[in-house]
Amino acid sequence: MKIKIYAIGYLKEMYLKLAINAYVERLKPYTNLQIIEVADEAIGNNPNAKDIEIAKNKEGKKVLKLLKKNEYLVGLDLTNKQLTSEQFAVYLQDKLVAGRANLSFVIGGSHGLSKELKGRCQDWLALSKMTFLHQMTRLILLEQIYRAFKINRNEPYHK
């Protein structure tokens, strides 16, 4: 299975880079993983709703240009369905069994995803009801993907 994570905004924090790189290394035996960063749009300190919408649309178009037609895209948003780690493991396994050799996730920027990009998503998940920094979401998603592979192979890690 090939997994892609589209992330709007670049990682700047070294502690997150180190943690994310650790999970990327851990995942190498299980999947071909690719993280694709797309520049977020600068909109100033006090943007109005129109400025935010324009920025989200520009960010969305950047991601849409990179997507392949057959990519199964899962949007991450805190208002959607939440899964336990065990349920997420089943979710990944089901996608593999269904012949989805390519599974992609998209993490929005600080203001979320554009309507057009949301329309391209075939499924939606929420990692939590809590709000996380979008940079932190990458780490949490990677950890859950790793945990899912360990669960599906009955390997020690999940407690």
CATH of the domain at 13: 3.40.1280.10
**How many domains does the structure of the chain reveal?**
1
**Domain presence at residue 44:** yes
- Rounded to the nearest 5 degrees, what angle is found at the Cα of 113, between the Cα atoms of 108 and 117? 115
What pLDDT score does 84 carry? 95
**Domain presence at residue 159:** no
Which residue, among 117, 136, 119, 118, has the nearest Cα to 127 in the 3D structure? 136
Task: Give the DSSP per-residue string, the chain.
Answer: -EEEEEEES----HHHHHHHHHHHHHHTTT-EEEEEEEPPPP--SS--HHHHHHHHHHHHHHHHHH--TT-EEEEE-TTS-B--HHHHHHHHHHHHHTT--EEEEEE-BTTB--HHHHHH-SEEEBS-SS---HHHHHHHHHHHHHHHHHHHTT-TT--
Q: For residue 129, give its domain range.
A: 2-152
What pLDDT score does 23 carry? 98
**Domain presence at residue 157:** no
- The single residue listed with the structure tokens 């989200």 is 56
What pLDDT score does 20 carry? 97
**Domain presence at residue 74:** yes
Going residue by residue through the chain (159 aa), what tens digit of pLDDT does each one get?
A: 799 999 999 999 999 999 999 999 999 999 999 999 999 999 888 889 999 999 999 999 999 999 998 889 999 988 889 999 999 999 999 988 877 778 999 999 889 999 999 999 999 999 998 888 888 999 999 999 999 999 999 998 856
**Domain presence at residue 158:** no
Q: How far, in Å, CA of 128 to CA of 80, rounded?
A: 9
Q: 19 in the Ramachandran plot: left (φ > 0), alpha (ψ -120 to 50) or beta?
A: alpha
What pLDDT score does 131 carry? 86
